[in-house]
Amino acid sequence: MAAEYMAKMEKEGRAEATLVKARWLLAQMQPGLGKLPIAEITPPELLRVLKKVEESGKRETARRMRSFASRVFRYGVATGRCQHDPAGVLRGALVVPVVQHHAAIVDPVRLGELLRAIDGYQGQPAAYMALRLTPHVFQRPGEVRQMRWSEIDLENAVWAIPAGRMKQRQPHHVPLSRQSVELLTEMRGLSNHSEFVFPSVRTPKRPMSENTVNGALRRLGYGGDEMTAHGFRTTASSLLNESGKWNPDAIEQALSHADKNTIRSIYNRSSYWHERVEMVQWWSDYLDSLRARGEVIEFSRAG
């Protein structure tokens, strides 16, 4: 039943990352539930499986398993294979996981120190270049590591990410600063003819692993409670907003955050493009100033 539901997800164009997570969640439930007919699974039986995961310290995993199971059961009800959703009544039965925010450096002086440390990284070329590019584009780590050359227009300085790889299921265009174009031009000679900008060290047929940039940060001495690959988004969001130079909506668009108002979202994607082009160049220049001289530019406060 779960496999049938996931096949439906795939036909709907869900991102590959979403499908991979669904398969993994299913694998966690199969030992305890896989041999039971879906119509016979009771809330206590499902809760025992979830509690076992929860008690191992994986509260967020247990929560996601319950949510995924509920979707499968609802699909089963809709298709006449079962009568109830036992996962639905388990809302509130699990311990609520503590929200963990991605660690990020938001102090300009310490950011300059990090950028200078990155310049001295001695690891694999793809990891080094991804580590250098990530602060400039401040997109999600998965989007950066899976970047393809077919998405890059160096002449017009645009990175076009297809909807299938975006969290919001909408295509996202990222303006590239002069510095980003230079880094990508340099990387083209290092990517071993791969379709991926940052190929795996093992094979050019796959992108580098999801832990590569975080691993590089650890090698530079930055712990997981201090800075993460995802944290570069928080860094950019915090300092761009603090500068008072840019419309907060333009910053949100640059970060590809969801806008629940569909009409407003379409309008914003078009109306803030020119501002985003200016903003990303200002941001890259600002990063260069912090890295090169360690200078902190005083922002003119808005209002």
The CA angle 69-72-74, to the nearest 5 degrees, is 110
**Choice among 136, 140, 165, 276 that is catalytic:** 140
In 3D space, the residue among 65, 76, 71 whose CA is nearest the CA of residue 29 turns out to be 65
Residues 150 and 260 in one domain: yes
Q: How many angstroms separate the CA atoms of 242 and 244, rounded?
A: 5
185 part of a folded domain = yes
- Is 267 known to be catalytic? yes
**Choice among 233, 272, 276, 286 that is catalytic:** 233
Does the pTM exceed 0.95?
no
**Choice among 23, 188, 205, 257 that is catalytic:** 257
301 part of a folded domain = no
**Choice among 167, 169, 245, 269 that is catalytic:** 167
**232 beta partners:** none
Residues 116 and 184 in one domain: yes
In a structure prediction context, what are the per-residue pLDDT tens digits for the chain, which is 303 residues long? 999 999 998 888 877 778 888 899 999 999 989 888 999 999 999 999 999 988 888 888 888 899 999 999 999 999 999 999 999 999 888 887 655 557 889 899 999 999 999 999 988 889 999 999 999 998 988 899 999 999 999 999 999 988 777 766 678 899 999 999 999 999 988 877 899 999 988 888 899 988 899 999 999 999 888 999 999 999 999 999 998 898 998 999 998 865 545 444 444 455 689 999 999 999 999 999 999 875 545 554 343
- CB-based burial, 41-58: b 16+ in 10 Å, e otherwise: beeeebbebbbebbeeee
Q: Both tokens of residue 291?
A: 């890295």
Q: Both tokens of residue 223?
A: 């712990």
What was the pLDDT predicted at 210?
A: 83
Q: How many angstroms separate the CA atoms of 168 and 259, rounded?
A: 9
- Is 140 known to be catalytic? yes
Q: How many angstroms separate the CA atoms of 8 and 65, rounded?
A: 18
**Choice among 64, 66, 230, 276 that is catalytic:** 230
What was the pLDDT predicted at 166?
A: 75
Residues 141 and 208 in one domain: yes
Residues 12 and 62 in one domain: yes
pLDDT digits (tens, 9 = 90+) for 122-180: 888 899 999 999 999 989 888 999 999 999 999 999 999 887 777 666 788 999 999 99
What was the pLDDT predicted at 302?
A: 41
Domain count across the chain? 2
**Choice among 188, 264, 267, 274 that is catalytic:** 267
Which of 62, 90, 118 is the last residue before a domain boundary? 90
Residues 277 and 153 in one domain: yes
What was the pLDDT predicted at 260?
A: 47
What was the pLDDT predicted at 301?
A: 39
Query: What CATH number does residue 69 fall under?
Result: 1.10.150.130
What was the pLDDT predicted at 150?
A: 94
- Is 230 known to be catalytic? yes
302 part of a folded domain = no
Round the average pLDDT of the chain to a whole number and report it: 86
Residues 114 and 69 in one domain: no
98 part of a folded domain = no
Q: How many angstroms separate the CA atoms of 292 and 238, rounded?
A: 21
What was the pLDDT predicted at 303?
A: 37
Q: If DSSP codes are grouped into helix, strand and coil, which group holds residue 196?
A: strand
- Is 74 known to be catalytic? no
- Is 102 known to be catalytic? no
Query: What CATH number does residue 164 fall under?
Result: 1.10.443.10
Residues 40 and 120 in one domain: no
pLDDT digits (tens, 9 = 90+) for 47-72: 999 999 888 888 888 888 999 999 99
Tell me which residue range forms the domain holding 84.
Answer: 2-90
